[in-house]
Amino acid sequence: MVKPNKIRHILASVIVLATLYIAVSLAFKLGAGGKKDEGLPALPRNVEISLSKIHYTETKDGVRQWDLYAGKGEYDKARDVTRLTDVRLVLHERGKSGEITLVSDQADYFNAAKNVALTGNVVAKSESGMEFTTGRASYQSNRSLVVTDDRVRFTDGGMSVSGVGMELSVKTRQVRILRDVTATVAPGKKG
């Protein structure tokens, strides 16, 4: 039979060991108090998903229409809009001027309509040398049209046109500058 005095000593030892264990654990946790775990930053309330290095391709009847690249994107489910940063939009309509590439600081991609609203230092260039710059522009997917209501400067070959507002048909490459138009045409080089 175990003596009651011996049971008291065993219980006292267990209590002392448990107390020491808790004290040591707390000491380690408090000692590491300055070192916080680096977690992911909290997303804004309206953002469902945040992604980096995005590439989206739009195809129609098996033919690539355009590619959208971004360094970062945040999806807002309530508005069905993806807010992008460090954006590059490549329009693949083939023609004598080739693909058109638009770059901008930011863009909103409207998922349902498949339209892209680019903002901040928008620069567009084609493979043939056509170029335009503006503060903001939109690509309307259903019409294959790039539009802006902002000030724009358009150059192609020896022609330079500036004004406010522009429509550029990706399929036909027809450009319309809408108002306050100033144009300069340099004479062709003689060979």
pLDDT over 80 (residue 40):
no
Average pLDDT, the chain: 84
pLDDT band at 62 (very low <50, low <70, confident <90, very high): confident
**For residue 149, what pLDDT is reported?**
96
In the CATH scheme, what is the homologous superfamily, with its name and number, of domain 49-185? Answer: Lipopolysaccharide (LPS) transport protein A like domain (2.60.450.10)
- Asked if residue 117 has pLDDT above 90, the reply is yes
Backbone angles phi, psi at 153, to 5 degrees: -125, 120
160 exposure class (CB count in 10 Å sphere: 0-12, 13-18, 19+): middle
Q: Per 3-state DSSP, what percentage of the chain is helix, strand, and coil (rounded to 5)?
A: 15, 55, 30
Q: Return the pLDDT at 191.
A: 47
